[in-house]
Amino acid sequence: MRHFLTLKDYTKEEILDIISLGLAIKKELKSGNTIRHLSGQTLAMIFEKSSTRTRVSFETGMFQLGGHGLFLSHRDIHLGRGEPVKDTARVISSMCDMVMIRTFEHSKIEEFAAYSSVPVINGLTDSYHPVQLLADYMTMMEHSKAKNPVVAYIGDGNNMTHSWLMLAAKLGFELRVATPKGYEADAAIIAQAQQIAKASGALLRFTHDPKTAVRGATVVTTDTWASMGQEEEKEARLKIFEGFMVDDALMATADPDAIFLHCLPAYRNQEVSESVLEGAQSVVFDEAENRLHAQKGLMVWLNKQQKRQ
């Protein structure tokens, strides 16, 4: 059975298939011709962290596909009171057709998946945010003119960085990551991505200088400097990350047709200036909408894999 925990477990062809399916379903929706690909199915959505986009896109997506999404906050289910992950996984997967989880440690979703009898989707862990990257690449396909993408990721070496590393490594494009010293991406994940990149020809570059990363890039992206769970570090990080804001001066050094991506929520005039976020090169709201379409593609794709078993 296939879960969707990281892009590491997927081939280039599979990633592109899922996105193509999402684009086809998007076209159906826009033409008013919605097909109930998942009629009568249920998706359990377990949230141990806040969410706007992930919750709304999965719940709406499931409804549009003819199914139903159950929002399960950790505050309301026994998981939050100490019922073991392996028990929760067996119970929920005995009643639902798919499970989406947003949690802290990546090992928790791995444990859940090991005990689940239905596909488990990662809706963000401390280590990865793979569904976001499906939407991000879909947005690049729609908005970027570049044949050979050069992506510059500026900021914290976090779950988004790790997911960009895996996407670039799998698809074979150039990714330049600029982080402050001490805030680099996880060394073990970098090593895995470098290993995968050998086969795909991806170029993965690392620097502490945002200008070096952005020069000539066709996509510029960033993320919050303090992720969920790091609230207490926020003040300190604001000082440490000075000089890493994506502003007009930095964007001006990218390719003239470069697009700006951000998974959102964005903190204006911290990791990105108000002018860049709201500027002509920013496609962040199309990117957010694409969460809906890309994840519908993913859920239909996973369902097809289930039927093949």
Give catalytic residue positions.
Answer: 102, 129, 132, 223, 263, 291
Nearer to ligand CP, 124 or 150 (CB): 124
Nearer to ligand CP, 72 or 202 (CB): 72
**Buried b / exposed e along 180-219 (16+ C-beta atoms within 10 A):** beebebbeebbebbeebbeeeebebebebebeebbeebbb
Distance between CA atoms of 40 and 12, rounded to whole angstroms? 31
Secondary element (H or E) of residue 296: helix 284-308
Identify which range of 52-60, 105-113, 191-199, 299-307 contacts ligand CP by CB under 6 A: 52-60
x-or-dash pattern for ligand NVA, window 79-108, by CB under 6 A?
------------------------------
Residue 51 binds ligand CP, judged by CB under 6 A: yes
- Cβ pair 151, 160 in contact under 8 A: no
Nearer to ligand NVA, 104 or 115 (CB): 104
Phi/psi of residue 205, nearest 5 degrees:
-120, 150
Minimum CB separation of residue 122 from ligand CP in Å reads 11
Residue 158 binds ligand NVA, judged by CB under 6 A: yes
Site for ligand CP in 54-83 (CB under 6 A): 54
Distance between CA atoms of 232 and 213, rounded to whole angstroms? 29
- Count of residues that interact with ligand CP, criterion CB under 6 A: 8
List 41, 42, 127, 132, residue binding ligand CP (CB under 6 A): 132
Residue 42 binds ligand NVA, judged by CB under 6 A: no
Q: Which amino acid is at 96?
A: C
Secondary element (H or E) of residue 261: strand 259-262
Cα-based angle 273, 230, 266 (whole degrees, multiple of 5):
25
Residue 264 binds ligand CP, judged by CB under 6 A: yes
Identify which range of 45-53, 111-119, 168-176, 244-252 contacts ligand CP by CB under 6 A: 45-53
Q: What is the DSSP string of 57-92?
A: HHHHHHHHTT-EEEEEETTTSGGGGT--HHHHHHHH
Cα-based angle 157, 163, 164 (whole degrees, multiple of 5):
80
Nearer to ligand CP, 146 or 264 (CB): 264
Nearer to ligand NVA, 203 or 240 (CB): 240
**Cα Rg of the chain (Å, integer):** 19
Residues forming the site for ligand CP (CB under 6 A) = 51-54, 124, 132, 263-264
Residues forming the site for ligand NVA (CB under 6 A) = 124, 129, 158-160, 223-224, 227-228, 263
